[in-house]
C-alpha cells in the first residue's frame, strides 16, 4: 500500500478519507480476533436488514470480565473495522464497563457531545458524516449489548430500513 502502488492516480486522492481512515481500512483488510469460539459463554448475532450485514460475536467470561472477545462477520469495511476495533477495546473490561462502552459508542452517533468516543475508537467518528452508514458502525456494538444482556444465544437486529 505504498504511494507507489497508487498507479496513475493524480488529482484529488485521497478521497473519503474522513470515512475510510487508514486505521479503518487496515482493520477491514485484516480484522483482529476474527474467529469463532467453539464454547463461548455468550454468543450473539447481529443483522442489518438494510444491507445484509451479519456479525456474530463470541464472548468468554471469567471473573466478571470479558476474558476473550472474537467475531465473525460478512459485511462492509465499516462494519468489519468497527467489529475488529470492538474486540480490541472490549477485551479485559468488566461486563458493566463493556455495556457502558457499547452504549456510549452507539450514543455517540446520536449525540456526540454527550457521548465521547474513547481515543482508540476515534477513527469511527468519520462515519457520522455518512448517515446511511452509521448502522454499519453500530451493528457490532448493538450485538455486544445483546451478548452482554444474554441469554447465551441472542439475536440483535438494527432498525429496519426506512
Partner 1 sequence: MNASPRAIPGPLDVGRLRQDFPILDQQVNGAPLAYLDNAASTQRPLAVLDAMDHYYRHDHANVHRGVHTLSHRATDRYEHARELVRGFLNAASIREVIFTRGTTEAINLVAYTLGQRLKAGDEIVVSELEHHSNIVPWQMLCERTGAVLRVGPITDRGEIDVEAMLALITPATRLVGVAHVSNALGTVNPVAEIIAAARRHGALTLVDGAQAAAHVPVDVRALGCDFYALSGHKLHGPTGIGVLYGRESVLETLPPFQGGGDMIATVSFRGTTYNELPYRFEAGTPAIAEAIGLGAAIEYLGRVGLPAIAAHEEALVDHALARLRDLPGIRFLGNPRQRVGLVSFNIDGIHPHDVGTVLDQRGVAVRAGHHCAMPVMERFGVPGSVRASFALYNTRDEVDRLVEALQLAVRMFAP
Q: Please report, as ranges, the residues that interact with partner 1 according to CB under 8 A.
A: 1, 5-7, 9, 12-16, 19-20, 25, 28-29, 50-53, 74-78, 130, 133, 136
Closest CA to 136 of 105, 111, 115, 114: 105
Least distance in Å: CB of 66 to partner 1? 28
Smallest separation (angstroms) from partner 1 to the CB of 17: 9
For 88, phi then psi, to 5°, come to -75, -40
β-pair partners for 46: 55, 156
Residue ranges in the chain assigned as alpha helix (H): 22-29, 77-90, 95-110, 134-149
User: At its nearest, how many Å lie between partner 1 and the CB of residue 144?
Assistant: 21
- For partner 1, the closer of residues 37 and 137 by Cβ is 137
Q: Which is nearer to partner 1, 40 or 126 (CB)?
A: 126
Amino acid at each position: 500500500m505504498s504511494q507507489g502502488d497508487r498507479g496513475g492516480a493524480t488529482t484529488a486522492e485521497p478521497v473519503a478519507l474522513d470515512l475510510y481512515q487508514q486505521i479503518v481500512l487496515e482493520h477491514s483488510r485484516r480484522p483482529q480476533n476474527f474467529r469463532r469460539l467453539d464454547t463461548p459463554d455468550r454468543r450473539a448475532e447481529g443483522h442489518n436488514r438494510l444491507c445484509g450485514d451479519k456479525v456474530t460475536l463470541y464472548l468468554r467470561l471469567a471473573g466478571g470480565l470479558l476474558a476473550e472477545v472474537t467475531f465473525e462477520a460478512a459485511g462492509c469495511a465499516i462494519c468489519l473495522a468497527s467489529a475488529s476495533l470492538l474486540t480490541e477495546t472490549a477485551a479485559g473490561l468488566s461486563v458493566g464497563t463493556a455495556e457502558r462502552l457499547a452504549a456510549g459508542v452507539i450514543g455517540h452517533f446520536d449525540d456526540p457531545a454527550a457521548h465521547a468516543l474513547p481515543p482508540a475508537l476515534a477513527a469511527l467518528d468519520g462515519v457520522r458524516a455518512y448517515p446511511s452508514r452509521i448502522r454499519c458502525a453500530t451493528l457490532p456494538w448493538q450485538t455486544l449489548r445483546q451478548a452482554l444482556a444474554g441469554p447465551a444465544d441472542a439475536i440483535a437486529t438494527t432498525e429496519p430500513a426506512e
